[in-house]
Structure 1
Amino acid sequence: MYWATWDVTADGKLGPSNDLAQPARLDALRLWKKGAIDDYFIRSFDVAWKDGWAEAWAWLHIKNDLYLYRRARVRSFSFDCGLGPTELAEDVAIADIGVDLHRYLLGKAVLKRRWQLADILDRVRARAAEIEYSFTLGEVDFGPS
């Protein structure tokens, strides 16, 4: 995994280098500590499709049954550069959560209801025969209805 490479961060601490998702994770943690959101952990899952595309979905519980949700899709070109297409898609989706966190704080309509996320998940699961691999799809849960 590319983010397993450690480097000195801008604030002088040791942390993962080139992690596109890290700013979003840190923003979520800061907002959670301030009490602005109910959870800080950005959850995600990814899928490699048999047609060569990879997709990832990320979400962050904001309050009640409201979430930030983003999806990213990238194409696999069957060469190794140390970063797989599902990893890249996951990082992009999580990074986009960070963008939406800022939009949420500005009062923009970016929140989705839990049932909307469940519908998206049901549509992905309905395409199970088209999935090349997914290590986390079977574990996805958005919490109680």
Structure 2
Amino acid sequence: MTSTGGVTASWLRPIPSGVAPYLARAGHLGHAGRRLGELVQGRPPGVTGSQWSAAGRASLDVVVCAADTGLPRFAVRFTAPVPDGSPARRAERLTDAVCAAVGLPLLRVESPTLGGAEQVRRFVEYVLDARAYGDGTDPDAGEAVGFRDIVGRLPDGRRGPVNDLGALARAEAVEAYVAGRLADPIVRGLHARWTGGPAEGWAWVEVRPGHCLLERVRLTARGLDCGVDPGRLAEDLAVVALGERLRDLGGGAPTLLERAELLGRIRALAARRDSFDGGFAFDHLCAD
């Protein structure tokens, strides 16, 4: 069963029923472009006035509310990657702290590529569908198929996991290879989950012999069950981002990594396996 995230109604203000939603899905309404301060009734405990003033201005891409009560259930925020220790990173941590103080789970997607309105909508709908599927699955009824593992007909006509967010990008990579725009049609990837921190997903494809296009996505899911393993979801999002980059291949020379450099980065990540929840499951990618 999926978790509701433990929303504390006493601190969260419902969004009035007369406000037109951005989307409606699985018993929830999504409202776009809300500030955190609009959702909270007063300054939460343990948060100073200056901290509250700063965090209250934080913009949330989508706030997902229960359709019957209007109470926020969770929020989604897409951001560009920022360095640790930077003012932007400190601001993000402050937003996290305030969300935790009021019981509002926050899903943050960090990507240099993703963040368009349609990408945000698709992601929110996907999470709602995955959670609804989990809520309807009886864990005592045997080995139920997970949402991400449901098999059906893919966009290119093959059978495969229909709830792979990156399925369309994978099919487009094959088309690009057939058209001579890629050196290899296979999109490869990996994922890991930092202990007590975000999940990280990588996806890459060989554009020219020995030169790869790489996308990385971090997904932070604090206090919320996404309905899909966060690591797999982060990797699928990285594939989606890669697909966006592949569509722009004709518009200019993309920044490519030599295969040897990519291999070095993978090995460096593998060397930090003790920092991952569940270890590192991609040692096969470390071989020459």
Q: Counterpart of 1:72? A: 217
User: Contact 1:45 / 1:58 at 8 angstroms: preserved in 2?
Assistant: yes
- Compared CA separation, residues 34 and 129, structure 1 to 2 (3 A): same
1:97 is the counterpart of 2:249: no
Q: State how far apart, in whole Å, the 1-side matches of 2:273 and 2:159 are.
A: 40
Q: 1:119 to 1:18 in 2, by over 3 A?
A: same
Q: For the residues of structure 2 that align with 1:11 and 1:123, how far apart are their CA atoms?
A: 35
Q: Which segment is superposed worse, 92-101 or 4-13?
A: 4-13
1:22 aligns with 2:167: yes
Distance 2:148 2:201 in 1: 17
Paired position in structure 2 for 1:114 = 259
Letter in 1 for 2:193: A
Identify the match of residue 82 of structure 1 among 222, 227, 243. Answer: 227
Instruction: Give, in angstroms, the shift of residue 93 of structure 1.
Output: 0.6
Q: Which has the higher contact order (CA 8 A, sep 6+)?
A: 1
C-alpha offsets along residues 3-33 of structure 1, whole Å, 9 cap, x if unaligned? Answer: 3224566788866434310111011010112
TM-score, normalised by the number of residues in structure 1: 0.81
8 Å contact kept, 1:9–1:17: yes
Question: For residues 137 and 58 of structure 1, do their structure 2 counterparts lie closer, same or farther at Cα, with a shift above 3 Å needed?
Answer: same
Partner of residue 205, structure 2 = 60
Does the CA-based 8 Å contact 1:45-1:56 persist in structure 2? yes
* Structure 2: segments with no counterpart, 5+ residues: 1-145
Two-structure CA RMSD over aligned residues (Å):
2.6
Give yes or no for contact 2:182–2:207 (8 Å, CA) kept in 1. Answer: yes
Q: Compared with structure 1, are the counterparts of its residues 34 and 109 closer, same or farther at alpha carbon in structure 2 (3 Å cutoff)?
A: closer
**May I ask how many residue pairs the two structures share in their alignment?**
143
Tell me by how many angstroms 1:119 deviates.
Answer: 3.1
Aligned in 2, Cα 1:87/1:78: closer, same or farther, shift over 3 Å?
Answer: farther
Looking at structure 2, the residues matched to 75 and 137 of structure 1 have their Cα atoms a distance apart, in angstroms, of 21
| Among 33, 49, 59, the residue aligned to 2:178 | 33
Structure 1 residues 134, 60: CA separation in 2 closer, same or farther (over 3 Å shift)? farther
CA distance in 1, matches of 2:282, 2:181: 29
* Corresponding letter in the other structure for 2:174: L
**Alpha-carbon distance, 1:48 to partner:** 1.3
Q: Which moved more, 1:130-139 or 1:28-37?
A: 130-139
Structure 2 distance, partners of 1:105, 1:134, is: 38
Question: What CA distance in whole angstroms lies between the structure 2 residues aligned with 1:140 and 1:10?
Answer: 27
Whether the aligned pair in 2 keeps the contact of 1:47 and 1:54 (CA below 8 Å) is yes
**Inter-CA distance 28–12: structure 2 relative to 1 (3 Å threshold):** closer
Label 1:89 to 1:37 Cα distance change in 2 as closer, same or farther (>3 A): same
Q: Percent identity?
A: 29
Task: Report deviation, 1:78.
Answer: 5.5
Report the alpha carbon displacement of residue 52 of structure 1 after superposing the two structures with TM.
Answer: 2.9
Contact 2:155/2:167 (<8 A) preserved: no
